[in-house]
Structure 1
Amino acid sequence: MASLKDVAQLAGVSLMTVSRALNNPDKLSDKTYQAVKRAIDQLGYVPNFAAQNIRGVTGKTIGVLSLGTATTPFSVEILLAIEKTVRKFGWHSYVINTFENDEAEMEQAVEQLISHRPNGIIIARNGLKIVQVPEKLRQFPIALANCVTEDLPVASYIPDDYQGQYKIGKLLVEKGYKKPLFLHIPHNYIATKARKKGFEQAFFAEETDKSAVKISHYFMQADGEDYFEGAKPLIDLLQRHKKLDYDVIVCGNDRIAFVAYQLLLSHGYRIPEDIAVTGYDNMVGIARLFIPPLTTVELPHYAMGEQAALHLIEEREDTECHKITCPLIMGKSC
């Protein structure tokens, strides 16, 4: 395999000149640049991603710091959208996946990103949370997908969870439901507060007789990921009462809804004839796999990735938090 020294010898230049040709070709004369380029082509030497520019590959590069996104099935569409968008514009992308709770791994991931000399950085997360932006990445243009930060002014693209849950609340009111049991995701999640507010405002805005509405809220513990626990209040209610005093179970995500379906059906309840169920996320199109199909809200993972990529490609200068519409997925569970 050819080395940097081999290239320098063949081109008749110093190692520093070869390095400049790879990383800062504008600092060399055209004659020197072409000499190094011919040597690289002849030897087939490609030291790293940045060297592709000298081999005639055009376009710029976006590095993606993936915080669990690449290993979480329902959020991987963020990465797919980034890849498709950058290709469309002749850019390149590469993904380094890591996890926030491992400092050594995070530091290594940041160093890998920097070594590719990106033109911009996207930080993408598998679930909406506040993230820390590593110091070494702050020198680059940055856009966030499915996360926000308090470290510096930077544009972020996140789900409009208020709007998504408002749509479900409005639908349920229109269908005549008055006694929802809301099984929330963890109480400290950003999405939880927005969804609770959207749901309640939809219910009370549409319902003329406020006293006729009864909403019960149950929340998972902080940062909990055991969504069977999210359905535990329903388990307790089914064990204590012969008949539920609710007409719809509003689930914080589709995984809680999956457990709720099994619990209700196993206790002889028909969905939606006896009690309705709604979800949230539309994880990997799972709503259609429920029987009956689940009414849910789809998280806009693809749109978040696409807009974050376009933010860098189009050199947008705003640092706003952009909330992206969450589509309502109509099933037959309510």
Structure 2
Amino acid sequence: MSTKSKPATLQDVALLAGVSGMTVSRALSKPDMVSQRTREKVEQAVRELGYVPNLAASQLVTGRSGIIGALITTITNPILATTIEVLQQGLARAGFHLLIGETRFSQEEEGKLLRAFLGRQLDGLILAYGYHAPETLELLQATDIPLIELWDLPEGEVPRQPVGQVVGFSNWAAGAAAGRHLVECGYRRPAFFGFDDERENLRFEGFRQAVQEGLGIEPLRLNTSPVPHIDDGVEVIQRFARGEIDCDGAFFTNDMPAIGALFTCQRLGIRVPDQLGICGFGDLPIARVATPSLTSVRIPAERVANATVDLLCQRIRGDQQWDALVDVGSELVARESTALRR
């Protein structure tokens, strides 16, 4: 004979916690709607009984899965890691669970993950990249779930058409700020180091215009790997030391290769900012404590995440008025790696 006990039910939790079944359901699905004391009693009962909610049954009753999907380009990017953390916390407070998929900047992988996610009856979808393969775009346009694209505002000569709401910043403006800063600091041969894709092409266009307006020259551009890595910066400085790259100011479109470049300059005896000015993108914590400290373009990751949670909750509640686009902006933070040249 089996000695296994029957799984605990919602009513078992309600009885142990001394509340109604409806209160238990509310405490688990919408914790903000019950008092902290009630929530703690329910959570204690859940732990003691080992209760696992039947999500399928709940979905039949409420019409919701309680799951928000997020397709992220790479979880190794510290900016995105911060965004994911704040998203998860905010969605949890609203009673949702976050399901994460990593595309590694592959449109093919994005399409596969999207099909898998849509089969789970999501309540909402977050995309951390605004450029999609045609077949993926068709899937996204056909879905009726709330959808938010992060990071990339629609811009350029022919702006892309968003498939949902957008929370992000201008890549063009971020690149222009970096180029303008290097010129104003006295660098006369600025260079751009980033991947060749839609968003970084926009950053380059902004960078190029700022350099052309300030110096009347075409800036050097060299492409790095699609997933930013510290080794990208190491390779750039090794080539710079061999005389293969002619520049006196460098804008890296991610702080990780910028830090790799900074450390390699120190190892090879290249003086920063005198011989080479270095600017990054993302303003990671290491940028502030590096020696010399790293100039970087700051993106407000927490603001992006919080705005996304607010918009998703508005849409899921069925609010009739909501913002189609939220521009969180960006800010160039000047530090020692690009000090003014005399």
Q: Normalising TM by the smaller chain, what interval?
A: 0.5 to 0.7
Measured after TM superposition, the shift of residue 170 of structure 1 is 2.2
TM-score between the two structures when normalised by the length of structure 2: 0.66
102-111 vs 74-83, which deviates more? 102-111
Query: Does the CA-based 8 Å contact 1:294-1:333 persist in structure 2?
Result: yes
Give yes or no for the alignment of 1:146 onto 2:155: no
Between the aligned partners of 1:309 and 1:143, the Cα distance in structure 2 is: 10
Q: Within 5 Å, give how 1:17-96 maps onto structure 2.
A: 46-48=53-55, 51=58, 61=66, 63-67=68-72, 72-86=77-91, 91-96=94-99
Number of the residue aligned with 1:176: 186
Number of the residue aligned with 1:308: 308
Q: Secondary structure at the match of 1:240?
A: coil
Counterpart AA for 2:300: P
Query: Does the CA-based 8 Å contact 1:69-1:124 persist in structure 2?
Result: no
1:304-323 C-alpha deviation (Å, 9 max, x unpaired) = 22222222223366684544
Counterpart AA for 2:80: S
Between the aligned partners of 1:298 and 1:255, the Cα distance in structure 2 is: 14
* Identity rate, percent: 15
Between the aligned partners of 2:279 and 2:52, the Cα distance in structure 1 is: 56
Between the aligned partners of 1:45 and 1:296, the Cα distance in structure 2 is: 46
How much is the aligned-residue C-alpha RMSD, in angstroms? 4.2
Q: How many residues align?
A: 281
Between the aligned partners of 1:298 and 1:43, the Cα distance in structure 2 is: 44
TM-score between the two structures when normalised by the length of structure 1: 0.67
Query: Does the CA-based 8 Å contact 1:129-1:146 persist in structure 2?
Result: no
Number of the residue aligned with 2:205: 197
Measured after TM superposition, the shift of residue 69 of structure 1 is 5.7
Query: Does the CA-based 8 Å contact 1:299-1:326 persist in structure 2?
Result: yes
Counterpart AA for 1:48: L
Q: Within 5 Å, give how 1:128-277 maps onto structure 2.
A: 129-130=131-132, 132=136, 135=139, 138-146=143-151, 153-182=163-192, 184-187=193-196, 189-205=197-213, 207=214, 210-211=215-216, 213=217, 215-220=219-224, 223=226, 225=228, 228-229=231-232, 232-240=235-243, 245-277=246-278
1:66-92 C-alpha deviation (Å, 9 max, x unpaired) = 4356565431222233344446xx622
Between the aligned partners of 1:66 and 1:178, the Cα distance in structure 2 is: 40
Query: Does the CA-based 8 Å contact 2:74-2:227 persist in structure 1?
Result: no
Measured after TM superposition, the shift of residue 303 of structure 1 is 2.1
Give yes or no for the alignment of 1:98 onto 2:101: yes
Q: Aligned pair in 2 of structure 1 residues 217, 299: CA closer, same or farther (>3 Å)? A: same
Query: Does the CA-based 8 Å contact 1:82-1:93 persist in structure 2?
Result: no
Between the aligned partners of 1:228 and 1:165, the Cα distance in structure 2 is: 22
Q: Aligned pair in 2 of structure 1 residues 50, 270: CA closer, same or farther (>3 Å)? A: farther
Between the aligned partners of 1:197 and 1:236, the Cα distance in structure 2 is: 24
Number of the residue aligned with 1:299: 299
Q: Aligned pair in 2 of structure 1 residues 50, 325: CA closer, same or farther (>3 Å)? A: farther
Counterpart AA for 2:87: I
Measured after TM superposition, the shift of residue 179 of structure 1 is 1.5
Counterpart AA for 1:185: G
Number of the residue aligned with 2:125: 122
Between the aligned partners of 1:270 and 1:204, the Cα distance in structure 2 is: 26
1:231-280 C-alpha deviation (Å, 9 max, x unpaired) = 54543342137xx7532122222122122223322332211123211111
Between the aligned partners of 2:51 and 2:232, the Cα distance in structure 1 is: 56
Counterpart AA for 1:92: G
Structure with max Cα Rg: 1
Q: Secondary structure at the match of 2:68?
A: strand
Between the aligned partners of 2:72 and 2:301, the Cα distance in structure 1 is: 14
Counterpart AA for 1:96: L
The gaps in structure 1 that reach 5 residues or longer are: 9-21, 23-40
Query: Does the CA-based 8 Å contact 1:122-1:308 persist in structure 2?
Result: no
Between the aligned partners of 1:230 and 1:44, the Cα distance in structure 2 is: 50
Counterpart AA for 1:64: G
Between the aligned partners of 1:201 and 1:297, the Cα distance in structure 2 is: 17
Q: Secondary structure at the match of 2:132?
A: strand
The gaps in structure 2 that reach 5 residues or longer are: 12-24, 26-45, 155-159
